[in-house]
Amino acid sequence: MNEGGFFGEYGGRYVAEVLRGPLENLENEFRLAQTDEAFFSELENLRRNFIGRPTPLLPALNASSSIGGADIYIKLEGLANTGAHKINNAIGQALLAKRMGKTRVIAESGAGQHGVACAAACARLKIDCVVYMGEEDIRRQRPNVYWMKLYGAEVKSVSSGTRTLKDSVNAALRDWASSWENTHYLLGSALGPSPFPDMVRSFQSVIGRETKAQLGDVTPDALVACVGGGSNAIGFFEPYLEGVRPILLGAEAGGRGAGIGNNASRISGDGRISIVHGYKSRFLVDLDGQVLPTHSISAGLDYPGIGPQLAYLAESGRIRFVSVRDDEALEALKFFAIEEGLIFAMESAHAGAAAITLARSLGPGKTVVVNMSGRGDKDIFISAAALDGPAWKTFLREQSITEEDS
Amino acid sequence: MNSDVKASLITHMIAGYPDFEKSLEVARGLIAGGAYALEIQIPFSDPNADGPLIENACRVALSRGFKVADTWRLLEVIRAESSIPIFLMSYASTAISCGLANFLRRAVEFATTGIIIPNLVPGADEGLFRTAAELGCPAVPVLVPWISDQRLDEILSMPIDWIYVALRSGITGAYTQIEAPQRSFLAKIRTRQRRPRIMAGFGIQKTAQVANLLEFVEAAVVGSAIVKTISGARHPGEAVRKLVGELQNIKLPKTPG
């Protein structure tokens, strides 16, 4: 499927000459590691004993009967150490970095989940870690910043551009352009210049492989995942990409609805072909190719581009995409909390909402598997403010007074 | 060091920074200061091969509503006044937004000498190098000194007139010493039989650097130092005219008025 880093016309390696060598080197090292049994046995060991794999696959009986449609299964990826699927890739790449003799890892972070995963993986593997995070994201995801620091990582605030995920990618690329000799750039999503999309899919495909094994005799009719950059989706879908079944459904951030700056729907919205952050894909750019602002209630889906393989599979029709608005994600968050005792990450709640709709339309006797890519503990400041505004504000006020007194 | 060296300075500026009119003044100032050529950058929202200074300048220009079409307007005015060589710099996203060939055709209309797109390198260039050469404004590849000989051969086999050597690892803006590894890389290219002309930059801020560099290359590129000067100047045109003069160690006549 992947010729020279391309998926159809998407992907590639559109970087300045300075990064060409380091990426070629990374590709070679990744290829070598893939045939290295010692590497894989160490990775397997970390998956089991550090990440906590396999993560459960829950038959969501209450949710299914409440909806009255297809049977829903939920892959509880959010039960992985650090709270999301991001750790699968972080530990894989950190191990690779160590194998390459790198002593320092840099990472970008939006929601902070990838930053936390990198910081934890680097702590575990004893590598220095620097996480670039936009000022705006630091404000939105403060708790994750504390965790990163507790793991010993340095968090560098990015004040350029829109001060969000895309700017932290720029900052990390700039760092790497002068630090590649001792530094690995641990990119967190299935995008960026080749070989990152392949590498990230490879490390995340553990989600799909486990799910397939856990389903046993059950043949799923549909798989549903949320899509920011697309790392959980491509990893979850990976064993099912060949062929035409099951239905593969990606949920993009519909934000506040249609219109520039209101969402992050690249496929289901107004994405245009462009080249940004080292790869060709569909981006939310204007007619001049300038990257547009995006919005989502979930920081992890608030990104203007989509992984090149997903863009390709959207075009080929293998993966369908829908937009899920902020309010629909919040409804799904409440639904799965009440029905199943699960708090989805705000990102994953987009997949949850799409799964509910799909389960209803497929009807009884069918099977829908949704990936809860993360758990929602990290979102308490956002979800509580959205669902329980006044009481939450009062609590915060009281809490800050208590803190000052103590 | 010969102090009367007639420097060939390629001066980098951002179209629309700090605004359209002032960027035109900057162009005029650079020309009046004796620049050999202008490198005009089209502002981009995510210029990650540039440093924070240039990124910020891009943001300022874009926040004032600068469009790619304004670049052509700027070039038109400059061309009406001067035949100075112009290198146009863009990122891939803005260059391909209305089709790369269309973009290049517009550039040719204004007698552009060369096109610099740092994230379209030979082999991953969307046909840039071939098309630009066919249209008569060859692309200018940006090289770094530690690339392999094989890669250097590959790049030099492209249909090009100029190459841009980025003198240090990393991004634009920080001060660079022109040291042995850079010098030997430049010397290596100079020994090639049919070699392109060389412009070199990244971190050029001092007259001594320029003089030193011009022993090895046809032109020194000054970028961030100019942006810095503009950002702090009430009269950016005059400020850059002075800077260019100083960098070339040339005594300028007093400005009339």
- Compute the distance between CA of residue A349 and CA of residue B81 in angstroms, rounded to an integer: 59
Check A277 against B46: CB less than 8 A apart. yes
| A177 shares a domain with A214 | no
Residue A116 reports pLDDT greater than 60: yes
- The reply to whether A157 and A95 lie within a common domain is yes
Answer yes or no: do A283 and A134 share one domain.
no
- Inform me whether the pLDDT recorded for B135 exceeds 60: yes
Domain assignment present for residue A211? The answer is: yes
For every residue of A284-299, DSSP letters joined together read -B-TT-PBPP---SSG
Does the residue A245 lie in any domain? yes
Q: What is the pLDDT at residue B172? A: 55
Q: Note the Cα B101 to chain centre separation in Å.
A: 21
Q: What is the DSSP track for A122-157?
A: HHHHT-EEEEEEEHHHHHHTHHHHHHHHHTT-EEEE
For residue A218, tell me if it sits in a domain. Answer: yes
CB < 8 Å from B in window 249-278 of A: 273-278
- Last residue within a domain, chosen from A195, A225, A250: A195
Q: Which of B119, B140, B158, B160 best probes binding to A when mutated, by most A CB atoms within 10 angstroms?
A: B119
Q: Under an 8 A CB cutoff, do B45 and A277 touch?
A: no
Does the pLDDT at position B173 exceed 80? no
Contact between chains at A16 and B56 (C-beta distance less than 8 A) = no
The residue out of A127, A160, A195 marking a domain boundary is A195
Residues A148 and A209 in one domain: no
Describe chain B by its helix, strand, coil percentages, rounded to 5.
40, 15, 45
Full strand arrangement of the beta sheet holding A104-109: A154-158, A128-134, A104-109, A183-185
- The ranges assigned to domains in chain B are 9-247
- Inside any domain, residue A155: yes
Clarify whether B55 is annotated catalytic: no
Whether A183 and A283 share a structural domain:
no
Enter the ipTM. Answer: 0.93
Choice among B25, B39, B70, B125 that is catalytic = B39
A102 and chain B in contact, CB less than 8 A: no
In whole numbers, what is the pLDDT of chain B averaged over residues? 90
Give chain A's domain count: 2
Q: Is residue A144 domain-shared with residue A64, that is, in the same domain?
A: no
Topology of B9-247 in CATH?
TIM Barrel (3.20.20)
Rg (CA), chain A: 20
Query: Both A323 and A293 in a single domain?
Result: yes
Q: Which of residues 17-46 of A touch B (CB under 8 A)?
A: 17-18, 20-21
Structure tokens at B143: 């090289």
Which candidate in A108, A238, A328, A340 is catalytic?
A108
Q: What angle do CA A397, A400, A405 make, to 5 degrees?
A: 130
Q: Give yes or no: residues A226 and A158 share one domain.
A: no
Give the helix ranges, DSSP H, for chain B: 20-32, 52-63, 68-81, 92-96, 100-109, 128-135, 149-156, 180-190, 207-213, 224-231, 236-247
Question: Which range among A100-104, A345-349, B210-214, B223-227 shows the weakest confidence by mean pLDDT?
Answer: B210-214
For residue B98, the chain A residues in CB contact (below 8 A) are 287
Return the bridge partners of B38, or none.
B11, B86
Distance of alpha carbon A67 from its chain centroid, rounded?
27
Q: Which of A113, A106, A119 is nearest to A137 (CA)?
A: A113
- A317 and A377 belong to one structural domain: yes
Closest approach of chain B CAs to the CA of A158, in angstroms?
10
Q: Could you tell me which chain A residue has the CA closest to the CA of B143?
A: A17
Residues A120, A96 contacting (CB under 8 angstroms):
no
Q: What is the pLDDT of residues B182-241, one digit of tens each?
A: 888 999 999 888 899 999 987 788 888 888 888 889 999 998 899 999 998 999 999 999
Q: Is residue A78 located within the same domain as residue A101?
A: no
Structure tokens at B128: 């840039």
Residue ending a domain, among A166, A195, A224, is A195
Domain that holds residue A259: 52-83+201-385
User: Model pTM?
Assistant: 0.94
Degrees (nearest 5) of the Cα angle A316, A322, A327?
Answer: 165
Indicate whether A67 and A124 sit together in one domain. Answer: no
- Angstrom distances, CA of residue A181 to CA of A14, A63, A213, B8, B202: 20, 51, 40, 33, 19
User: Considering the domain boundaries, does residue A167 fall inside one?
Assistant: yes
- Are the Cβ atoms of B46 and A276 closer than 8 angstroms? yes
Farthest CA pair distance, chain A: 63
What whole-number distance in Å separates Cα of residue A218 and Cα of residue A372?
Answer: 19
Asked if residue A24 belongs to a domain, the reply is yes
Q: Tell me the CA end-to-end span of chain A in Å, nearest whole number.
A: 60
The answer to whether A108 is a known catalytic residue is: yes
Q: Cβ contacts (< 8 Å) between A169 and chain B: which residues?
A: 48
Of A291, A240, A398, the C-alpha closest to B46 is A291
A400 belongs to a structural domain: no
Q: Is the pLDDT of residue B45 over 80?
A: yes
Q: Answer yes or no: do A335 and A217 share one domain.
A: yes
